[in-house]
Amino acid sequence: MARMTARGEEASNKREAILEAALRLFAEHGVDSASMADIARAVGITKPTLYHYFSGKIEILEQLMAEPYYSTDYVAEVLRSDAPLEDRLRQLAMDYLDAICTRPDLGHVLLRESLGNAKHSATDAIKKKFVRRYMSRIDVLEACLLSEPDWEHLERPRARLFAEILFDSLSLFWLRRVLVQGDETTESERHTYADGLIEWLLRDSGRVGVLE
């Protein structure tokens, strides 16, 4: 049993090393230009060994997209908590901003792949999945807002706008500060921005100040 556990841990570590190397190469050269041979060399393994772990670059991309803070399930989990809505929104905004700013290469790759011109239908499918996942997070937040007892006055278009403003503003912070300016943001900076954004969106308890 101990031997199997050790083997499982070794395999998990190897997969993580492959993902990190692939992410670095994808960020530097693009998914189309980085080859499986390049990834194998970066990890220090043979190409057949690499294929033992991943069937190709598309599977690697899909695994990278499975980062927990990027998932719709994580958004739903935060919003389902018993905390006041304002606290839930702050937690969501801070966690999401931390995730995209502390993993800039991942955000860069996903953004570039979602906006670029696909050479392969499989890569195009990844782009569509990335966009669907982003929109799904907005869908989950919109549904949460509409289900809040204190927000019965809120109409669906305004709930949608609230959710879009929240995620788009967080993404623009990453785009401007991290991707364009190349800054290394601190946790304090990120959380101050997220807190200010929520405060701006919320005016008085249960009211949507900027959307009224």
The rounded distance, in Å, linking the Cα atoms of 66 and 207 is 34
Q: Could you read off the pLDDT of 6-61 as tens digits, one per residue? A: 677 788 889 999 999 999 998 888 888 899 999 999 999 999 999 999 999 888 98
The reported pLDDT for the residue numbered 4 is 52
Confidence category of residue 64, pLDDT binned at 50, 70, 90: confident
CB atoms within 10 A of CB 46: 12
Task: From residue 135, give the alpha-carbon distance in Å to each of 94, 130, 163, 164, 200.
Answer: 19, 9, 10, 9, 22
Q: What is the pTM of this model?
A: 0.77
Tokens 């995730």 map to which residue?
A: 99
Q: Could you read off the pLDDT of 106-118 as tens digits, one per residue? A: 777 877 766 665 5
The reported pLDDT for the residue numbered 208 is 47
Q: How many CA atoms lie within 13 A of 128 on its CB side?
A: 7
